[in-house]
Amino acid sequence: MVGMSKSTATATFSDFLRAPNDVLGALEDNGEVVLTRRNAPALRLTQESTSRAELSALGVVGQLFAASLDEAALDRVASRLAVALPWIGMLPTALHAEFVAAFQDTARACIAVARFDRLAILLEAWQATAEAYADPRLTADGSDLEYLEVPEVVAAPDLDA
């Protein structure tokens, strides 16, 4: 029923429904249990105190990261982030520090409220910007891109064209 790998136990969601005390016992013994589900993403059970401690530690790391960055460091961080987020390479170098600063501010705010939806939105928006800069029909520096202050509704592109 409950399998273990290192400090994380695993169980099926059905196991949890049939024998919740066994799964909760594994949670007590291992600190967390991953519940696998058929045709659905797995769920992670953990004690709230553990989750809060992780967020607190992540918050301290975020604060330390923010305090250690100057203008030159922002560019270095962007180049290192490009390993995990290769689309950063499509952004003009002049935007790298702006991206890192926005990422850092949003990440710190997300950590503070324990919700990361806004960080995902920020990453998607910057990736879309990188995709625009990558368009070979545009100038390499993006000088022919027009930033809109107010979103505009456009017709759906014709897929047959």
pLDDT, average across residues 114-129 = 91
Top-tier CATH class for 3-46: alpha beta
* Listed ranges 2-11, 70-79, 131-140; the one with the highest mean pLDDT: 131-140
- pLDDT value at residue 2: 52
Number of C-beta neighbours around residue 58 at 10 A? 15
Segment among 25-29, 31-35, 73-77, 105-109 with least mean pLDDT: 73-77
pLDDT tens digits, 73-121: 766 777 788 888 999 988 888 888 888 889 888 988 888 887 889 999 9
Q: Is the dihedral of CA 64, 67, 73, 79 positive or negative?
A: positive
Confidence class of residue 35 from pLDDT cuts 50, 70 and 90?
very high
Segment among 16-20, 44-48, 91-95, 136-140 with least mean pLDDT: 136-140
Instruction: Check whether 51 has a pLDDT greater than 70.
Output: yes
Confidence class of residue 123 from pLDDT cuts 50, 70 and 90?
very high
Name beta bridge partners: 11. Answer: 35
Number of C-beta neighbours around residue 105 at 10 A? 13
* Listed ranges 6-15, 68-77, 135-144; the one with the highest mean pLDDT: 6-15
How far, in Å, CA of 159 to CA of 103, rounded? 34
Distinct helix (H) and strand (E) counts, the chain: 6, 4
- pLDDT value at residue 5: 38
Q: DSSP letters of 34-94?
A: EEEETTEEEEEEE-HHHHHHHHHHHHHHHHHHHHT--HHHHHHHHHHHHHHSGGGGGS-HH
Where do the domains of the chain lie? 3-46, 51-134
pTM across the whole model: 0.58
Mean pLDDT of the chain: 82
